[in-house]
Amino acid sequence: MTVRQLAYRLYTARLRRRLQDAALPRHIGLIIDGNRRWARQEGLASPSDGHRHGAAHIWDALSWCQSAGIKHVTVFVCSAENLARRDDTEVTALMEIIEQVVVAKIATPDPAWQVHVAGLVDMLPGSTALALKDAAEATSHCPTGAHVTLCVGYGGRQEIVEAVRALLEERAEAGASLADVARTIRPEDIARRLAGAGQPEPDLIIRTSGEQRLSNFLLWQGTDAYLHFCDCHWPAFREIDFLRALRDFAARQRRQPG
């Protein structure tokens, strides 16, 4: 073990100890940005190599959350806009990677996490949509009480539009007029049709790659979330970076008025 590796392990252990009695988030959102840029920096042949490393790294992050006792995680895997802008070869490779990670890492016979899916799933390639739906079904009886929501082909604005549309259609089928709906609609009527319904709303959203924006992620659910931006790209995001985000969140909690 090098001196640097030893120092990293000691500092990681120190951060863990400091967080033992701290106020930690119940629900974390992860914007896993920078896979393609990381691949270029590493001299890898294809952006898909970055996506592959980034997808595998999701499991590392879930393990860190599990160790910290955080039982709700929402991961922004890819946006609807990204799927529309990227070339077909890259999108196909990304979908294959998502399928492999879901099947091999998260949706195991003895799952640690119950999988939920958000986004325009039916617009994805058939095999990807099926893999995500099968993962949700296979983990539906996960005994740990831990939940991970995978946002694939996702957009926060579209999600809100779809939630309002579903509400209007449901009320119309029940015979309500538009005036009735307008008079009685409540925020919770929309909230229960969004990703993460029934779970606590995110307390903390972490974004990698140095970008400081939400990029259409959890626009409704993340209203009160603290934001933490990390300069490193997602595949290079370390446990120590994760623990620092928790430390900053805990410090903000201490500063809140009683």
CATH no. for residue 239? Answer: 3.40.1180.10
Taking CA atoms, 210 is separated from 134, 137, 186, 241, in Å, by 34, 35, 36, 13
Mean pLDDT on 6-21:
86
Whole-number pLDDT of residue 98: 92
**Residue 95: is its pLDDT beyond 90?**
yes
pLDDT in tens, 29-69: 999 999 999 999 999 988 899 999 999 999 999 999 999 99
Whether 4 maps to a domain, the answer reads no
Backbone dihedral angles phi then psi of residue 188, each to the nearest 5 degrees: -65, -20
**Residue 79: is its pLDDT beyond 60?**
yes
Mean pLDDT on 72-86:
91
Mean pLDDT on 220-226:
96
pLDDT tier, 256 (very low <50, low <70, confident <90, very high otherwise): low
Whether 160 maps to a domain, the answer reads yes
pLDDT tier, 171 (very low <50, low <70, confident <90, very high otherwise): very high
Whole-number pLDDT of residue 257: 58
Whether 86 maps to a domain, the answer reads yes
Asked if 81 and 152 count as a contact pair (C-beta separation under 8 A), the reply is no
Ramachandran quadrant class, 198 (left: phi over 0; alpha: psi -120 to 50; beta: rest): left
Which residue, among 176, 240, 170, 248, has the nearest Cα to 7 in the 3D structure?
240
Catalytically active residues, by annotation:
33, 82
Taking CA atoms, 85 is separated from 12, 82, 90, 190, 193, in Å, by 39, 5, 10, 29, 28
Whole-number pLDDT of residue 90: 87
Whether 57 maps to a domain, the answer reads yes
Whether 107 maps to a domain, the answer reads yes
Whether 228 maps to a domain, the answer reads yes
In whole numbers, what is the pLDDT of the chain averaged over residues? 92
What is the rounded CA–CA span in Å between residue 169 and residue 124? Answer: 24
pTM here? 0.94
What is the rounded CA–CA span in Å between residue 217 and residue 35? Answer: 17
The separation between CA 106 and the C-alpha centre of its own chain, rounded to angstroms, equals 13
What is the separation, in whole angstroms, between the first and last Cα of the chain? 45
pLDDT in tens, 112-156: 999 999 998 888 999 999 999 999 999 999 999 999 999 999 999
Asked if 209 and 36 count as a contact pair (C-beta separation under 8 A), the reply is no
For 136, the domain range is 22-255
**Residue 258: is its pLDDT beyond 60?**
no
Ramachandran quadrant class, 75 (left: phi over 0; alpha: psi -120 to 50; beta: rest): beta
pLDDT tier, 10 (very low <50, low <70, confident <90, very high otherwise): confident
Whether 16 maps to a domain, the answer reads no
Backbone dihedral angles phi then psi of residue 122, each to the nearest 5 degrees: -70, -10
User: What value, to the nearest 5°, has the Cα angle with vertex 109 and ends 111 and 99?
Assistant: 80
Mean pLDDT on 214-219:
96
How many domains are contained in the chain?
Answer: 1
**Residue 254: is its pLDDT beyond 80?**
no
Whether 13 maps to a domain, the answer reads no
